[in-house]
Amino acid sequence: MKIFKLVSILLLLSLFACDYFDDSQSEEGKKIITNQQIRESHSYANIEEVFTKHLHLDMEVDFDNNSIYAVARHTMINKGSDTAVFDIKGLEIQKVTLGEKDHEINTNFVIGMEDSILGAPLSVKIDKNSTLINIYYKTTEGSEALDWLKPEMTKGKKFPYLYTQGQAILTRTWIPSQDRPSNRITYSADVKVPEGMIALMSAKNPTKKSKDGLYHFEMNQPIPVYLIALAVGNLEYRKIGKNCGVYSEPEMIRQVAWEFKDLRKMIVAAEGIYGKYQWEQYDVIVLPYSFPFGGMENPRLTFANPTLLAGDRSLISVIAHELAHSWSGNLVTNATWDDFWLNEGFTVYFENRIMQSLYGKDIADILALIEFQELKAEVKEISDGDHPEDTYLKLSLDGRNPDDGMTSVAYVKGAFFLKTLEEKVGREKFDVFVKGYFKKFQFQTLTTEIFEKYLEDNLLKPNKIKFNTKAWLYGKGIPKNCIKIVSPRFVAMQKMADNFNAGKDIFKIKVKKRRRKIDLKRDMYVTQEWLAFIRRLPRNISIDKLKLLDKKLDFKGWGNAEIATEWYILGVEAGYEDIRPNMEKFLKKVGRRKFLLPIYKTLANRPTDLKWAKDVYAESRANYHAVSQNTIDEILKFNLKPAKV
C-alpha cells in the first residue's frame, strides 16, 4: 500500500472476547468458547489447529440495499480440532453448515463479544474430520472494507460503484475469514452483479462484460486474506502490453492508458532486478476519488487512485511501488502487522530501484529525498507522542489498531535500512542476497526475527561485515550510519526557494546556449522538485509572495494533488486566503488519506481554522472510505461514537 502519515490515536478495549458466552447456547457450545485461546493480537483465528486452505465465495452484490449476500465456503486442514474460529466484524451471520454443497448439515456457532477494532470471534462447532465449513452471511453498514458509491460519485454518473479495501484487518468486515497474514490461501468466487456492470477481483479477471452479470474468478497462488479484493462498476479494459493493461470507467480509460503507458517497461525493469514476475498478469484499475490510498497491491490487479493521473506521468512511482509489492508483500509477506516494514520497507526500496532503472538516478534520488524529509518529520512527531517505540522497525501493536503501524517508519526507515546495507556491501552482493531472499521465502510469511537471522547468515557473515542490524530493527529513530543521499537537483530547488524568499527574481532563467533569458515554467521541473521548493519556503512567508507565485506558476490551480496539498498547507500556515475555494473543492472531492490527513491536521492545529475544517468535513465525510473517515474523525474529534463494551 502506498500511504504515509497516519495518526495513531485509536483506542482498544480488552482483547479478551472469548470468555463471553450467551446463556442460551448448549453446554457443548460453552466448551467450544472457553477452550479457545487468542493466538495473535489482531486475530482470533486458531490457525495452529485448523486453517483455511481454499476459500470459495458465492456472492451477490445488491446495489439497492448496499449489501453483499454470500456464502464463504472454507476448505480447511483440520489437525483434530473441534472448533474453528474465524474473524468477523460488521457481518450478519445467518447460518453455518458443514459438508459439500447440496449435502450440508447445520452446525452450532457462537459469536463472541465485539471489540471495537478486532470485531468478534465466530466459533464454529466441527468434528475432528470436518474439512468443509460454509458460512452464510450478509454484509452490513458496519462492513468497513466496502465503499458503496452512488452514481453521482463516479466519473460516468450513470452506474453505482463498489470497491473493497482489506488491508490491514478489514477483510473480516466483508468475508468471515481467518484474517491473519500468516495464513495463505487460494480462492475462487462466483459473483453476481447487476447486468451492464463488471466485477473484478484480485484474481484472473474478465476483460469484457458478461451478458448475465455473472462472473467466475480463480486465484490459484496462495495469498493472505487481506489481499482478497473486489471492484464492481461500469468498467472498460485497455491492454497496454504483454500481460498488462488498465481498467477504469470508459470516460477516463484513454487518460489512464496514457498515464500508465510505461507499465510493461516497469515490469521488465522489475524482473531485471529481482527475477520473474510470479502472478502471470499485471493490471491496474483506477478507482473513484474516494479510494483512501494512492494504490493497493491487490495481486494481479493493483487498485489505484485517480489522483495519480497528473497528466504528465510524474506520479507513476506509485505504480512502481504497487508492482514492487508483487515481490515484497504479496510473494513474501509479513507474518504479523508488527513486521509490516518487511512488506513496505522492501517495497519502497524496490520501487526506487525500478524508478532508477527507468528514469535514472537523478529522479530516484529526488524521490528518496522527498520521502526522507517526511520520515524525519514523522520520527520527530512520533518521538514526542504517546508511543515513541513506533519509530522501531519491529513494532509492538498489541491492543492497538494495526493501522497505527502504517507510518513512514515502516516505509522509509525500512527502505533506508536496506539502502544503507546496500551501500555497505555493494549493489552486486546485495542484489544476489535480495533475489535469494525472495526465492527462499516465496509464498511464505516471515517475522523480523527470521529476517534478521537470514540476513546474518546469508549476507553479513559470509562477507565478514559488521552491521548495526539490531539498532535499525529494534532501536529508535534513524541510526547515525544512515546513508546520505546527495541530489544537486534537490539542492538547486531549495536554493531557488531561498532566492525567491530573499526577494530575487526567479522567474527569468538564464539558458547557456541562448542570449536571452527564458520564463520559468512548471514543466521545467518534476513534481518532487516543486515539492522541495514549496517545503523550503518559510511558514511565515508574506501573502504578496504567495500571490506572486500563484500569478506566475498557478500552484493553486494546478490539478496535481501532491503540489496542491503542499501548497494548501503552506497557504493555511501563512494565512493566505486565496487558496480556500480550491482547497474546499479538493477536500470535497478527494478521499486519499495521504492528502486529507496533513491538510486537516494543519487546519485543526489552528483554532481559527478548526470550525471551517469541521464544516467542510461534515459535507465531505460521506465521500470518504471508512479508512479515511476513522483517521479524520480522530483529528477533528468529529462525531465519535462511544466504543462498544
**How many residues bind Zn ion, per CB under 5 A?**
3
CB of 345 to Zn ion, least distance (A): 10
> How many other β-carbons are positioned within 10 Å of the β-carbon of residue 645?
9
* CB 564 within 8 Å of CB 556: yes
State the catalytic residue, choosing from 161, 359, 392, 411: 411
CB of 390 to Zn ion, least distance (A): 18
Cell of 272: 531485471
Which residue lies nearer to Zn ion by CB, 88 or 269?
Answer: 269
Cα separation values, 67 from 120, 145, 622, Å? 20, 12, 17
Cell of 493: 530547488
282 is catalytic: no
Residue with cell 495518526: 7
**Could you tell me the strand order of the sheet in which 282-286 lies?**
236-241, 244-248, 282-286, 301-304, 295-296
Which residue lies nearer to Zn ion by CB, 344 or 371?
Answer: 344
CB of 9 to Zn ion, least distance (A): 22
Which residue lies nearer to Zn ion by CB, 185 or 324?
Answer: 324
Which residue lies nearer to Zn ion by CB, 104 or 344?
Answer: 344
CA distance 336 to 180: 7
Question: Taking CB under 5 A as the criterion, which residues in 330-389 touch Zn ion?
Answer: 344, 347
Cα separation values, 401 from 185, 383, 435, 574, Å? 24, 19, 32, 34
Which residue lies nearer to Zn ion by CB, 249 or 351?
Answer: 351
CA distance 18 to 121: 7
Buried-state track 591-618, b at ≥16 Cβ within 10 A, e below 16 = bbbbbbbbbbbbbbeeeebeeebbebbe
- At residue 197, what are phi and psi to the nearest 5 degrees? -115, 165
CB of 578 to Zn ion, least distance (A): 35
H, E, C per residue of 328-363: ECCCEEECCHHHHHHHHHHHHHHHHHHHHHHHCHHH
CA distance 406 to 328: 16
Which residue lies nearer to Zn ion by CB, 412 or 478?
Answer: 412
322 is catalytic: yes
Q: How many CA atoms lie within 13 A of 340 on its CB side?
A: 29
CA distance 66 to 245: 29
CB of 349 to Zn ion, least distance (A): 11
CB of 2 to Zn ion, least distance (A): 5
Cell of 62: 445488491
Tell me the residue nearest to Zn ion as measured from the CB. Answer: 1
CA angle 368-278-45, nearest 5°? 90
Which residue lies nearer to Zn ion by CB, 344 or 633?
Answer: 344
CB of 295 to Zn ion, least distance (A): 7
CB of 222 to Zn ion, least distance (A): 20
State the catalytic residue, choosing from 104, 144, 249, 322: 322
Residue with cell 542490524: 469
Which residue lies nearer to Zn ion by CB, 61 or 318?
Answer: 318
Which residue lies nearer to Zn ion by CB, 233 or 345?
Answer: 345
Q: Which one-letter amino acid corresponds to residue 560? A: N
For Zn ion, the binding residue among 1, 193, 526, 632 (CB under 5 A) is 1
Q: Is the dihedral of CA 307, 312, 318, 324 positive or negative?
A: positive
User: Going by C-beta distance under 8 Å and a sequence separation of 6 or more, which residues neighbour residue 103?
Assistant: none
Q: Is 310 in the site for Zn ion (CB under 5 A)?
A: no
List the end-to-end C-alpha distance of the chain, in Å, as a whole number.
31
CB of 320 to Zn ion, least distance (A): 11
- At residue 397, what are phi and psi to the nearest 5 degrees? -100, 20
CB of 414 to Zn ion, least distance (A): 10
Helices (H), 360-468: 361-383, 408, 414-425, 427-440, 448-455
Which residue lies nearer to Zn ion by CB, 1 or 219?
Answer: 1
Residues that bind Zn ion (CB under 5 A): 1, 344, 347
Write out the catalytic residue numbers: 322, 411
